[in-house]
Structure 1
């Protein structure tokens, strides 16, 4: 009987190869029976075709000279085949590099633009005009303006690696340049529901019926609006301007009277249903920092701070954008403007604890009130209140006579508002205290203090607004970011809080329960939040002492949830009860003073076994370890104190028997729970950024610097692949295993269909405002939920 050849050895060129030119590779092996050998070469990601050498005697090298078109670093291997078809063992991998062909010496450089989604990109000067991928050569140093045009039903999400992200972008072509343009479906078509955080919320304004709430939020250098459906606790729309930022907001007496002030001095009226700016006009030379509607009419007041100092208040007929009254000018800067309900006066909160009340009759003298930190009109305008340190004073509007002076538990009164339905004032301060006060008696109706996790870093409440219909109000704080509604329970003297912000910082993990009735999300704010299938808030789980939570994992029943994070703990939750099932497990500390960060957790489908992977950071690098426990006894079943490289995926097979531990160097260990055997599987060497185990446990979806691929768990072979320069940070399989989705550094949410012929068909599902960090399909396969560094939790409809 013929025996197979021995293991082969491969020799790769020492110097790099050039794309389009042949390169030399050599393989050698010996056959125990002396049979002649043919050598087969596997080129990994560099080339799909296998190369075969001429047949040579045993122990003689066989040469091939392949031509590669793909540029980059790759690995190759070879094996021997004897005359009987017996296969020898593969050689070790040999690394090689393919360099681009030298550019034409014509004084030009190539600009390549790749379109993601559906849209068109053109350039000035001409050359780029495409809806997929196109290239053009421009003179060195040329400044090329890229312009974009989304297809109907799609929106432009930004230029990728082209510089700053605006609708029109100038690229200086000093070298060969490859960048992209992102397009995603319009959110009203693509989004099932959305929860979101807030970066730096500063003001809020209710819609006239109290159904919608507009919150002004400073996102980095850009100010925008988040429109909440407060009853559902979900964000209905996010609105911003590409060319400038939003600095102020006020909602008038009609739904369509949503006004914003812009940094470039313009005023705009927005349709809250579509986010469209349906009317704009120039109002000031500088940013519009304040707005107020006349409650019964069609007039709008705007505030700006001129460079010469003080404040400028101008009045507008909103229907025409023309001035309706003479402007007001003050010597001091203005913090807030309040228009009286009857339209006869405006009250200005000034710097220096002063309130100025201006009659719009030019012949009436300005009235000043000292020691005023905050102000509010009564609903009928017959009275007004002025707040200061531990004190609120109530005045008659017509005479400015003091009617009452009440003292309370607040500190400096940063903001207050008068209820339209009760004789109540709500007063908020800089130490996160909220007080509801009966204006007529001075009795404290309810009081609450929201102590932030880091009080020394907190900024207190920046806005408070009573609901126009109900006995509730919204309070907004800049840092830590919060947008909360409070119901007033007067009989129990308490405030019932409902937080609208999903997470106050980046969302690192999202995970649907197998049945699809609950979604878990976790992030840098240290919280694990549970949501219903329709996006309703169910519970908040606090078990990580405010430290970042990075990983989540369900059992098959959906009754238990595991979470892990920067505190090195792994918490196991009973989600029905909202409590821990046992004290947290702690990953072993590998170095004194260096607690591990839990990056991955995996609870076996039967709920009996819990696995975690953690990284210990040092000044010189990091060390990753893996631990597995029996849940019932808390006995350690596996301990890998130091892995070969960081872990990018930890997943169980459906039968709970095998744990797959995937490493960044494109290898993985398969641990059998029953036998304790650890088996290594290797694929072509690469640097993986993320990976996801398929629902049946047989395939891995992977992302690396060359593209996205599907690998066989048992052999490491490539099943399907597609090249891309985008970097994926989170991947998730569809429940039926026919596709997987995710996103990463480029903010786009992709979907890849796995085709039997070995390729992946990509499409764009949506987009975040920042990096995509988590992804999970719901059990019915109807929606995908992603979380990102923009604090958004978005559920996308499958197409």
Structure 2
């Protein structure tokens, strides 16, 4: 699906158009901002050219036998376009309407990127064969190859400078290179990572238009954005974040909500400054699989992951500490109280003091969620109940109450900050609130969702609880200023202003 957005508003689209029956890999506008070509990996065709305002077809994208990876459109009349793909071809079109003109097979492998110079005189393509090929922008005829032997890995992307005298390339060899087009030589190279690192492969790059400082932004496979300027050997700034779905979210252990911790499907853990929105990737040995849940206490972040480990982050240093703690089974949740850490797994609950295992307990049910406050430990059971335990100083759990939840399996638990209430969310979107100690049901009408509740967070007063459900939101947290942070499947952390609460 291709969405064309109104330039003055991010809330509305000019149109939504089905292009191909598969993934779209690239899009390009013509010089009049009226036509768009979108290409990708379809079953019957690999791209379409449409008008941006109506979606009407204004040409056909043919000539490829495999997935099309990139498209470039000449910005001036007479209009031209080029597409490149896994079949090793550059296909050239005359427009508009855009029709097949010729194809060129200068590359010997996948062709991954294409770009027109600002004046339309030259076209450049790059590919997995490390080749940089130039063409006449009007005829599509090959003119010269440059940069033989400079890149040692596939070249994923290319972008021209605003003056058309240079372009920049991004490669799997973990470098970004700036080129002088006429000389055919490298002006500057930026290298990312000291050792071989898949995450440091540079998979995208762009000369930022409309700027006088020649800013270049490159994208790594790990999702980092580096701000580069000619003449400066180091990035002026690196923007970190997540490239995969965020699966865990928590505020810092001080409870003030000025800091956020997020974990994602690929095991990355990030710290966020709430006011600036700037993220830092936690250093050290990270999880090798999905981060399941966080607990925070005493300046530490306790991270449970689907690599069946519990890892500890020093909040001030933003670094993983020591060695990971191997868990008995895949974790379902983690919580901390009174100096003890409780990890619920498919096989039971393990209790830790620091990095030392002090207690293990198995049950006749499978835990689905866990929350601790003071000496109370609540465990969501797979048979539609919440089991309440009293924890001794050495982590032994003694059951004191079983709370029935007839509508669904318990999927999320959270105590209010003062420990006076327990909220339990289930698999059908219902949330029940109990009074801690007496365990009487005090609220059962929280039913805004129709899907599994994945996360619950109480505000400082204990009067309100924010919750997330499986429709793309995996974590919520109250942050400073009475705002709510959410994170989910789109790999974004969003801060929401809360208004009109009763």
TM-score range, shorter chain: 0.7 to 0.9
2:304 to 556, 560, 564: 564
1:658 to 371, 375, 380: 375
Distance across 1 between alignment mates of 2:84 and 2:208: 30
Instruction: Name 1:533's counterpart in structure 2.
Output: 274
The RMSD of aligned alpha carbons is: 4.5
- How many residue pairs end up in the alignment? 462
2:218 to 471, 475, 478: 475
Distance across 2 between alignment mates of 1:788 and 1:675: 33
1:742 to 1:267, Cα distance in 2 relative to 1, 3 A: farther
TM-superposed deviation, 1:553: 2.3
Instruction: Name 2:419's counterpart in structure 1.
Output: 697
Q: What are the within-5 Å matches in structure 2 for residues 33-44 of structure 1?
A: none
Q: What are the within-5 Å matches in structure 2 for residues 269-288 of structure 1?
A: 278=53, 280-286=55-61
Instruction: Determine if the alignment matches structure 1 residue 545 to structure 2 residue 268.
Output: no
TM-superposed deviation, 1:509: 0.7
Do 2:128 and 2:156's aligned partners in 1 also have CA atoms closer than 8 Å? no
Distance across 1 between alignment mates of 2:432 and 2:348: 25
Instruction: Determine if the alignment matches structure 1 residue 523 to structure 2 residue 264.
Output: yes
Q: What are the within-5 Å matches in structure 2 for residues 430-445 of structure 1?
A: 430-436=172-178, 445=188
Instruction: Name 2:489's counterpart in structure 1.
Output: 789
1:260 to 1:666, Cα distance in 2 relative to 1, 3 A: farther
Distance across 2 between alignment mates of 1:679 and 1:574: 33
Do 1:682 and 1:716's aligned partners in 2 also have CA atoms closer than 8 Å? no
1:734 to 459, 484, 490: 459
Distance across 2 between alignment mates of 1:311 and 1:413: 15
Distance across 2 between alignment mates of 1:444 and 1:359: 23
Alignment TM-score, normalising by the size of structure 1: 0.49
DSSP-derived class of the 2:176 partner: strand
Instruction: Determine if the alignment matches structure 1 residue 292 to structure 2 residue 68.
Output: no
DSSP-derived class of the 1:714 partner: coil
Instruction: Name 1:624's counterpart in structure 2.
Output: 348
Instruction: Name 1:718's counterpart in structure 2.
Output: 441
1:536 to 1:359, Cα distance in 2 relative to 1, 3 A: closer
TM-superposed deviation, 1:662: 1.6
Instruction: Name 2:65's counterpart in structure 1.
Output: none
Do 2:308 and 2:330's aligned partners in 1 also have CA atoms closer than 8 Å? yes
Distance across 2 between alignment mates of 1:644 and 1:451: 50
Alignment TM-score, normalising by the size of structure 2: 0.74
Distance across 2 between alignment mates of 1:300 and 1:421: 20
Distance across 2 between alignment mates of 1:787 and 1:678: 35
1:282 to 1:413, Cα distance in 2 relative to 1, 3 A: same
1:481 to 1:286, Cα distance in 2 relative to 1, 3 A: farther
Do 1:332 and 1:351's aligned partners in 2 also have CA atoms closer than 8 Å? no
1:482 to 1:646, Cα distance in 2 relative to 1, 3 A: same
TM-superposed deviation, 1:533: 1.6
1:586 to 1:437, Cα distance in 2 relative to 1, 3 A: same
Distance across 1 between alignment mates of 2:481 and 2:128: 57
Do 1:251 and 1:257's aligned partners in 2 also have CA atoms closer than 8 Å? yes
1:725 to 1:267, Cα distance in 2 relative to 1, 3 A: same
Instruction: Name 1:29's counterpart in structure 2.
Output: none
Do 1:225 and 1:238's aligned partners in 2 also have CA atoms closer than 8 Å? no
TM-superposed deviation, 1:425: 5.2
Q: What are the within-5 Å matches in structure 2 for residues 10-29 of structure 1?
A: none
DSSP-derived class of the 2:317 partner: coil
Instruction: Name 1:6's counterpart in structure 2.
Output: none
Q: Answer with 506-515 or 328-337: which moved more.
A: 328-337
Do 1:475 and 1:485's aligned partners in 2 also have CA atoms closer than 8 Å? yes
Instruction: Determine if the alignment matches structure 1 residue 645 to structure 2 residue 422.
Output: no
Instruction: Determine if the alignment matches structure 1 residue 508 to structure 2 residue 230.
Output: no
Instruction: Name 1:667's counterpart in structure 2.
Output: 387
Distance across 1 between alignment mates of 2:35 and 2:275: 27
TM-superposed deviation, 1:292: 3.2
DSSP-derived class of the 1:602 partner: strand
1:490 to 1:454, Cα distance in 2 relative to 1, 3 A: closer
Instruction: Name 2:102's counterpart in structure 1.
Output: 329
Instruction: Determine if the alignment matches structure 1 residue 586 to structure 2 residue 325.
Output: yes
Q: Which has the higher contact order (CA 8 A, sep 6+)?
A: 1
TM-superposed deviation, 1:426: 3.6
Instruction: Determine if the alignment matches structure 1 residue 387 to structure 2 residue 147.
Output: yes
Do 1:681 and 1:715's aligned partners in 2 also have CA atoms closer than 8 Å? no
Structure showing greater radius of gyration is: 1
Gaps of 5+ in 1: 1-221, 228-235, 270-276, 317-321, 373-385, 391-407, 591-595, 616-621, 748-767
Q: Answer with 350-359 or 429-438: which moved more.
A: 350-359
DSSP-derived class of the 1:284 partner: strand
TM-superposed deviation, 1:517: 1.1
Do 1:453 and 1:546's aligned partners in 2 also have CA atoms closer than 8 Å? no
TM-superposed deviation, 1:505: 2.0
Do 1:707 and 1:726's aligned partners in 2 also have CA atoms closer than 8 Å? yes
CA deviations over 1:17-49 (Å, ceiling 9, x no partner): xxxxxxxxxxxxxxxxxxxxxxxxxxxxxxxxx
TM-superposed deviation, 1:495: 4.3
CA deviations over 1:562-620 (Å, ceiling 9, x no partner): 3232345444433233235x535625x54xxxxx434433344xxx61413142xxxxx
Do 1:735 and 1:779's aligned partners in 2 also have CA atoms closer than 8 Å? no
Do 1:446 and 1:489's aligned partners in 2 also have CA atoms closer than 8 Å? no
TM-superposed deviation, 1:554: 2.7
Q: What are the within-5 Å matches in structure 2 for residues 129-140 of structure 1?
A: none
Distance across 2 between alignment mates of 1:223 and 1:517: 37
1:533 to 1:303, Cα distance in 2 relative to 1, 3 A: same
Do 2:28 and 2:36's aligned partners in 1 also have CA atoms closer than 8 Å? yes
TM-superposed deviation, 1:466: 2.5
TM-superposed deviation, 1:642: 1.7
Instruction: Name 1:447's counterpart in structure 2.
Output: 190
